[in-house]
Chains A and B, each alone.
Chain A
């Protein structure tokens, strides 16, 4: 018998589990899989379509156009000195990033049941890959935003970026973590109760209206003060407002709000992680 008979195991599979049992080393080992998943998502989404990746742009552009017509031209929402179209495009782009992270992450278990029931890899790879592929999509949309920005600027619109522009990457990360965190919570619930999926579809739509996507935060406070807290305490609304602030120098911004939003985001993310962790181990018995 060798002396190391009872120790020196590579890993143990057992019923016992820690609250957060996150093996970063293992995730690192599977980094190639992450890259391949991202590649798969990007390549295959618009296969066999005529317009291909143009769809990435058509959807936000038309939404922004519709919003501009309805909310700004018909309903007369003021967007300050900023052209309404640009105002809406900024809001929609960052909102869409959150929405796509949320919906793809919440589909993790039910959508991948086929793979998950046949082979092991760290399950977190799957939502991570969709967050990254959605980020690529968001960056493309951002390029279009920049193009319109330059167009409006050259046509004499009074727009400028804000000195806080350096926190923009942080805002994107917060948005990703929110989508990922909420998505992980929902994905775990979907494995048990399919109802959540339906709830999600229209819930996201409702959420958009309280997230200051198509109106400035200040307007809500002014017109509907009794419901303003809904938007005030909504970390998503804060991120969207802050995004417009740094990109267009329009709206409000406070460091306290940023701290609050970051805290909430981290809490949501960790709750998501804990639930995801608990679900990933035995969900295959319940789907």
Chain B
């Protein structure tokens, strides 16, 4: 066996963002920074700043999206990067793919890095499918000669052969995605950085895409950095994994250990929200909303395979509590409204004083993915006394699929577990 070679080295990488206004938001800070810089001193604002935690309100204007990230990747390794929303995955990807620079630290590489943060970047609607293959391929870093060589394979893989000379604006969205993924699938960089682009297209195409991904990472011995919410695909594809939390690496090691660390919820998650005096209204005071698996703690990761509870703590001041009820609207990560649910005519009406309402969403009903709840407090069954869009968000993960099973996200918004039986003759 050849000795393993380190192909990518991430050294002490940090990224700072300024909250609110950007850059010259304060001229004073900019000048101060400039003055330190021309004297060759360290930026004074790099010393302050909170770690990135979206629940806490910031005590400083500067926030660290990433802090002291250190890891090596060996040639041929498939590294999974897992973490909840806001853990810094996207920022890390952006730095790795040179879209933005780190504030501190450096990344050294021995190979060409290509990133797939999105499929179909730069597609022009007026150009034909074939022209877009060339354009998109070149944007992703391929040369014309390389694309020419793979042209037939790409067209074949996309399944859009018939329409290849038609402008892409006439394509269905599914066809567009297939074409885009086909280009990406034939990218051959030394190091491939992939965001969760697996969840694209229809089920049939997904299978093809995942198969191709497995070929890339396993068969062809490519170095891949893979970011995903889908624990099942991380487990299948990756050889090593790191877990990010609030901008720092909290776990690094084997894939199985990393996944179970993540699922156990190594730290707090953002599935709970306390409300301050802004939510103290004339008729009620909203106190807390939490979403969690029944029987688990609030800080644990929410799994698809267990019941999900939505807990609402609300203090009702109105003397006619029977006229009030609460309604939630649920939207998915694309912003599509999925359904609404309410305690109206349920066994849990609002009473005057403290209320702690529980709503149970059965296991295997929600797909893995991110969801947003909007809260509406309704008066007299028709007036909205209070509305807040996306008052809380939570992520449901799919943790339980066996290796060898279909790894993509199932199509559709929900994934109910219907009863199946064998008919008696």
Question: Which residues of A approach B to under 8 Å, CB–CB?
Answer: 1-2, 5, 8-17, 29-30, 32-33, 35-37, 39-40, 43-44, 47-48, 114-121, 192, 281-282, 284-286
Pairs of residues from A and B, 3 with the lowest C-beta to C-beta distance, nearest first: A14-B106, A120-B98, A33-B138
A187 to chain B, nearest CB (A): 15
B220 to chain A, nearest CB (A): 20
Question: Which residue of chain A lies nearest to B94 when distances are taken between CB atoms in the complex?
Answer: A284
A110 to chain B, nearest CB (A): 14
Question: Which residue of chain A lies nearest to B118 when distances are taken between CB atoms in the complex?
Answer: A118
Contacts of B277 in A (CB 8 A): none
Q: Which of A16, A30, A120, A286 makes the CB contact (< 8 A) with B99?
A: A120
Given the contacts A15-B105, A29-B143, A44 and B97 also touching, CB distance less than 8 Å? no
B140 within 8 A of A: yes
Given the contacts A15-B103, A40-B135, A284-B99, A115 and B111 also touching, CB distance less than 8 Å? no
- Considering the chains assembled together, what is the distance between the CA atoms of A121 and B121 in angstroms? 12
Contacts of B96 in A (CB 8 A): 13
B57 within 8 A of A: no
Tell me if A36 and B135 are in contact (CB < 8 A). Answer: yes
Known pairs A10-B109, A16-B106, A285-B22; list 15 more (Cβ under 8 Å): A12-B108, A13-B96, A13-B108, A15-B105, A15-B106, A17-B101, A30-B141, A33-B139, A36-B144, A40-B131, A117-B94, A119-B118, A282-B100, A282-B101, A284-B94
Q: Which of A13, A114, A115 makes the CB contact (< 8 A) with B95?
A: A13
Tell me if A44 and B23 are in contact (CB < 8 A). Answer: no
Q: Which of A15, A36, A116, A286 makes the CB contact (< 8 A) with B23?
A: A286
Grouping DSSP codes into helix (H, G, I), strand (E, B) and loop, the A interface class, with mixed when no group exceeds half, is: mixed
Tell me if A44 and B124 are in contact (CB < 8 A). Answer: yes
Tell me if A12 and B143 are in contact (CB < 8 A). Answer: no
- Considering the chains assembled together, what is the distance between the CA atoms of A286 and B132 in angstroms? 29
Question: Which residues of B approach A to under 8 Å, CB–CB?
Answer: 3, 5-6, 9, 17, 22-24, 94-112, 115, 117-118, 121-122, 124, 126-127, 131, 134-135, 138-144
Tell me if B95 and A44 are in contact (CB < 8 A). Answer: no
Contacts of B9 in A (CB 8 A): 9
Contacts of A119 in B (CB 8 A): 97, 99, 115, 117-118, 121-122, 139-140
- Considering the chains assembled together, what is the distance between the CA atoms of A163 and B6 in angstroms? 63
- Considering the chains assembled together, what is the distance between the CA atoms of A37 and B122 in angstroms? 10
Tell me if B111 and A10 are in contact (CB < 8 A). Answer: yes
User: How many contacts A-B (CB < 8 Å)?
Assistant: 111
Question: Which residue of chain B lies nearest to A115 when distances are taken between CB atoms in the complex?
Answer: B122
Tell me if B143 and A32 are in contact (CB < 8 A). Answer: yes
Question: Which residue of chain A lies nearest to B143 when distances are taken between CB atoms in the complex?
Answer: A32
Contacts of A116 in B (CB 8 A): 99
A19 to chain B, nearest CB (A): 13
Contacts of A285 in B (CB 8 A): 17, 22, 100
- Considering the chains assembled together, what is the distance between the CA atoms of A118 and B122 in angstroms? 9
Contacts of A39 in B (CB 8 A): 131
Tell me if B138 and A9 are in contact (CB < 8 A). Answer: no
Contacts of B100 in A (CB 8 A): 281-282, 284-285
Tell me if A40 and B141 are in contact (CB < 8 A). Answer: no
Tell me if B144 and A32 are in contact (CB < 8 A). Answer: yes
- Considering the chains assembled together, what is the distance between the CA atoms of A143 and B16 in angstroms? 53
- Considering the chains assembled together, what is the distance between the CA atoms of A230 and B22 in angstroms? 36
Tell me if A8 and B110 are in contact (CB < 8 A). Answer: yes
A287 to chain B, nearest CB (A): 9
Given the contacts A5-B6, A32-B144, A281 and B101 also touching, CB distance less than 8 Å? yes
Q: Which of B107, B126, B134 makes the CB contact (< 8 A) with A47?
A: B126
- Considering the chains assembled together, what is the distance between the CA atoms of A285 and B115 in angstroms? 18
Tell me if B138 and A43 are in contact (CB < 8 A). Answer: no
Q: Which of A11, A29, A32, A43 makes the CB contact (< 8 A) with B109?
A: A11
Given the contacts A5-B6, A281-B101, A13 and B112 also touching, CB distance less than 8 Å? no
Tell me if B3 and A120 are in contact (CB < 8 A). Answer: no
B38 to chain A, nearest CB (A): 13
B25 to chain A, nearest CB (A): 10
Tell me if A115 and B121 are in contact (CB < 8 A). Answer: yes
A-B contacts, 19 listed (Cβ < 8 Å):
A9-B108, A12-B109, A13-B98, A13-B109, A14-B107, A15-B102, A15-B105, A32-B142, A32-B144, A37-B135, A44-B127, A115-B122, A117-B94, A118-B115, A118-B117, A120-B97, A121-B141, A192-B24, A282-B100
Q: Which of B98, B110, B124, B144 makes the CB contact (< 8 A) with A10?
A: B110
Contacts of B94 in A (CB 8 A): 117, 284
B125 to chain A, nearest CB (A): 9
Tell me if A2 and B5 are in contact (CB < 8 A). Answer: yes
